[in-house]
Structure 1
């Protein structure tokens, strides 16, 4: 290089630094790009996205190519810087060139391009993929050889390299993605997506209408009582049983009963039983996502939840599960949360003991424990370990509560203090 002028060597050194910056920025841009956005754009026919996706199919080869190019350029730049240093400063120039080149590489070939690539990964990746694709074809034998050696070492360490591009998401990771979508997805839609993801963590007992609130008709009642109950039925289907709710004999569609009423000759207990559908039983502990699929496959809309002994624990409908996803409908078998909460002038809330804890947490942004009882009544009774016989105040999970009404061994009404006084800690 003695025949090359100092100015030409300076120009070549600057060019090598720019090339090194290109490789550094390309690496960061390629590795920082949003893979899911990339897949979407590629499926829409975006040329740059297709090129990048093709290169990222084998990230080991892409990294190998970039590092080969970067190291070759940096080594050549180091040699030129050494020659320039010795020309200008003699033996001391070696140390000066080393320090100056190190600073130049850090600023212009590493930190600056990588920062820009991290801020604008799509722009950097799409543009740099054009040259990288050409270099991959030209240097493929060298890339293949280097990757063969490195992958061999990885296998000796017990690492697999055949599935390194696994970009699947777990439920928790997908939940984080939805939460961070921000204004890209309307808040209402985010809530629905998160509710769908939460279905696997919620069981049918969390949403069921409790056994004591199931609306049913005792088929052994006198005929006038049965007719009166059918005439005033508030729901589309009614449970038919004999004396005890555990002795269920069918699920009657009220409209079918009305049809029988039109023909007095057909309107009898026997015909009501014949018109009733077979009861669909659901084991307790069934996750909502599983139950939703079962409702769909069996073409059912309602089921009775039973425990391990076959005793009925409650009732759940398809609408209950859909409400968990999209919010409350205008009609429901069980009372809505709004009907169970009465705001007071002092800022406190009167809440019925049957209110579901999960719904309270969700609606009021509270943090009551959900790993035990499912109702406010059950939570307080578990805390007290006794059924109170008089009105009293109690602090449960940091929330100050006042028991207002007790009857039938249940806490019927609870008063919870204003929000600023709820959390004692």
Structure 2
């Protein structure tokens, strides 16, 4: 391989670049001869390809290339080494971006940090310091009654001119929020963020209640991957590999991400939920308790920790699919007997 590389690639390139004029004069007659001999064949192939392209062109004169075509080309390019793995993942993320809904990436209502309308300035500062959030939804009584979004920089500006005040009419400081439905696609949401010049939107369900919120960072992470800042340093990873084919997952992990991590093939389009916790509730048919275990396809699922009716940690063991098929066949044979 090394000799072939030196003789057939490196040496000709060096000769051609160092003696470009002489090299061109010496090989030009050969290239012209080959061009004249092969011209009938090359022109026939060119005309055939033009006719083929013209037949399949769309109304705007371009060949219709689907998202799946782009993903396939990226897979082929990565397999042949023409593009890096990170570039392949980026192409996949961009193609899937427009098909991803807000529901799949939003911060759940249970995890929303918000500011009550009756809070003092000191209490608001404590919330900002504890969470590191620069934008807080303002609500009255409950999260379904959102009045606006309070920006930390607006509060700081207010404090410089009202140094002795501890109470504040938050509605005078809050900015108008934008509300989006659960099914809104991320490409449309990104355009809304650009048009409204804002970084946060509140997500509402079909009944008008607050389902959660979504930020510009959440949207961008769907393209470029996880973005961590100084406030994310203490945030734990959504999964931990304990042993071969054994994982500890945060129940909030998206099922698509679980498929990537554990190499599983859960058909997420078949479900009306997005997370591992939703799958467990679906399998249990009730609120599970710590220690409950379930089997789904080739997955052995054990609930490790539950807090306030909420699943926190889950242990998953992935059985090889060939073993699962042999167990199924044995059980069918014993049942027929």
Secondary structure at the counterpart of residue 181 of structure 1: helix
Once the 2 structures are TM-superposed, how far is the Cα of residue 306 of structure 1 from its aligned partner? 0.7
Pair 1:273 & 2:171 matched: yes
The equivalent residue for 2:97 is 199
The equivalent residue for 2:299 is 399
Distance 1:162 1:222 in 2: 61
CA RMSD, 1 decimal: 3.6
Q: Kindly tell me: are residues 345 and 164 of structure 1, through their superposed partners in 2, closer, same or farther at Cα, counting changes over 3 Å?
A: closer
The equivalent residue for 1:385 is 285
* Aligned partners of 2:120 and 2:168 also within 8 Å: no
Distance 1:423 1:319 in 2: 42
**CA deviation map 1:385-412 (0-9, x unaligned):** 2222451221123211111122322222
* Aligned partners of 2:242 and 2:248 also within 8 Å: yes
Secondary structure at the counterpart of residue 400 of structure 1: strand
The equivalent residue for 1:16 is none
The equivalent residue for 1:255 is 153
Distance 2:106 2:193 in 1: 15
Question: Which structure has the larger Rg?
Answer: 1
Once the 2 structures are TM-superposed, how far is the Cα of residue 292 of structure 1 from its aligned partner? 1.5
The equivalent residue for 1:169 is 65
The equivalent residue for 1:326 is 224
Q: Kindly tell me: are residues 370 and 341 of structure 1, through their superposed partners in 2, closer, same or farther at Cα, counting changes over 3 Å?
A: same
1:118-133 to structure 2, matched below 5 A, reads none
* Aligned partners of 1:360 and 1:366 also within 8 Å: yes
Distance 2:145 2:60 in 1: 57
* Aligned partners of 1:399 and 1:424 also within 8 Å: no
Q: Kindly tell me: are residues 339 and 164 of structure 1, through their superposed partners in 2, closer, same or farther at Cα, counting changes over 3 Å?
A: closer
Distance 1:404 1:367 in 2: 23
Distance 1:218 1:388 in 2: 32
The equivalent residue for 1:131 is none
Once the 2 structures are TM-superposed, how far is the Cα of residue 214 of structure 1 from its aligned partner? 0.4
Pair 1:229 & 2:134 matched: no
* Aligned partners of 1:357 and 1:375 also within 8 Å: yes
| TM-score of the two chains, using structure 2 as the length reference | 0.72
Gaps of 5+ in 1: 1-18, 33-55, 64-158
Once the 2 structures are TM-superposed, how far is the Cα of residue 213 of structure 1 from its aligned partner? 0.4
Distance 2:240 2:100 in 1: 27
* Aligned partners of 1:380 and 1:396 also within 8 Å: no
Once the 2 structures are TM-superposed, how far is the Cα of residue 374 of structure 1 from its aligned partner? 1.1
Secondary structure at the counterpart of residue 339 of structure 1: coil
Secondary structure at the counterpart of residue 248 of structure 2: strand
Q: Kindly tell me: are residues 257 and 200 of structure 1, through their superposed partners in 2, closer, same or farther at Cα, counting changes over 3 Å?
A: same
Secondary structure at the counterpart of residue 324 of structure 2: coil
**CA deviation map 1:163-183 (0-9, x unaligned):** 797522122223222322333
The equivalent residue for 2:139 is 241
Once the 2 structures are TM-superposed, how far is the Cα of residue 420 of structure 1 from its aligned partner? 5.2
Distance 1:359 1:332 in 2: 24
Structure showing the higher helix proportion among its residues: 1
1:31-46 to structure 2, matched below 5 A, reads 31=48
The equivalent residue for 1:355 is 253
Distance 1:248 1:163 in 2: 47
Distance 2:321 2:235 in 1: 22
Secondary structure at the counterpart of residue 402 of structure 1: strand
Once the 2 structures are TM-superposed, how far is the Cα of residue 347 of structure 1 from its aligned partner? 5.9
Secondary structure at the counterpart of residue 315 of structure 1: strand
Provide the aligned length of Structure 1 versus Structure 2: 285
Q: Kindly tell me: are residues 310 and 382 of structure 1, through their superposed partners in 2, closer, same or farther at Cα, counting changes over 3 Å?
A: same
Gaps of 5+ in 2: 1-35, 326-337
Q: Kindly tell me: are residues 163 and 407 of structure 1, through their superposed partners in 2, closer, same or farther at Cα, counting changes over 3 Å?
A: closer
Q: Kindly tell me: are residues 336 and 379 of structure 1, through their superposed partners in 2, closer, same or farther at Cα, counting changes over 3 Å?
A: farther
